[in-house]
Structure 1
Amino acid sequence: MDDRQELTELVGRLGLWLDEKQFDEGRAVFTEDAEVHTPGGVAEGVDALAAQARRHHTVPTQHFITNPLIDVDGDRATIGANLLVVFAHEGGPRLLGERYELEAARTEAGWRISRVQARPIWEVTNA
C-alpha cells in the first residue's frame, strides 16, 4: 500500500475509533505525544486525548470524514479533510460541520496521527 492509501485508511480509523468508542486503543491511531485541539478542548499525549474523547463522546456518534487532501514529506504528512459528525442525543441530534487539519508521522508500527486541529464551520442542534 502506498503512503496516501495508508494515510487515507488512518483517517478512516480515526472516525471508527471515535464512533466505536475504542478509546483504549488510541496507540493504533495516534503517536504517543499526539495533541488534539477540538471544540471539546486541548489534550496532549495519547492517554489525555483518549480521556477527552471519552468525556465528549458519551452518546452514539457517526463521523463522516471526507475529501482528504494529503501531502507527504518523507516521514511526515499533512492531511486536510472535511468532517461531518452527528451526536445522537435523546432530545434530537447535534450536527457539526468542521474542517480537520491533521498531521501524521511514520512510526515503526506505520502511520499515526500526531496532531489534530478541528476548525468548526457550522452547527445545528436538535435538527
Structure 2
Amino acid sequence: MDDHRQLSALVTRLGRWLDGESPGDGRALFTEDAEAHTPGGVAKGLDALIEQARRNHTVPTQHFITDRLVDVDGDRAAISANLLVVFAHEGGPRLLGERYDLEAARTDGGWRLSRVQASPVWEVAKA
C-alpha cells in the first residue's frame, strides 16, 4: 500500500504545482522523458512539459483531482482520476471537467510521472 499512498501524493503534488502552490519548477514530479497530452497541447521531454504548463496556467487556477485509481506493476504504475480545473479569468471563470490517465515510473528519487493524458469531458465558460 505504500506505493499507492506515494502515487496518490504525487498526483496531489501535480495539482498543487499547476496551481502555483508548490515550490520548485516541477522537476521533482516528472521523469526526464515525460510527455503531456492535454487540451493545451502536446509536450515531449521535461523542459517542454514544464514550459507548456507555465504557458497554459497564466491566470489563477485550482485543480481538483478525485477518484484516483492506482494500478502498480513493479516499477511502473497507471493512475486514472477525475479532474475539475477552474481558471479564474477576469471576465469570469472557465471550468473544465477532464479525465486524467497518468503513467508513473519508480526512479532513484522516488515515483515520477512519465505521461500525463488529460481528456476533456465537458467545459463551462462565461460567454
Please state which band the TM-score falls in when normalised by the shorter chain. Answer: over 0.9
In the other structure, the counterpart of 2:8 is: 8
The equivalent of 2:61 in structure 1 is: 61
- 8 Å CA contact retained: 1:35, 1:42: yes
Could you list the runs of 5+ residues in structure 1 that have no partner in the other structure?
A: none
Give the secondary structure class of the aligned counterpart of 1:28: coil
Partner of 2:106: 106
Taking the aligned partners of 1:45 and 1:32, their CA distance within structure 2 comes to 6
Number of aligned residue pairs: 127
Question: SS of the residue aligned with 2:27?
Answer: helix
The reply to whether residue 48 of structure 1 matches residue 17 of structure 2 is no
Match of 1:35 in 2: 35
On the 8 A contact 2:19/2:63 being kept in 1, the answer is: yes
Amino acid at match of 1:73: D
Please say if residues 13 and 22 of structure 2, whose CA atoms lie closer than 8 Å, have aligned partners that are also in contact: no
Unaligned runs of 5+ in 2: none
> CA separation in 1, counterparts of 2:115 and 2:8?
15
Greater fraction helix? 1
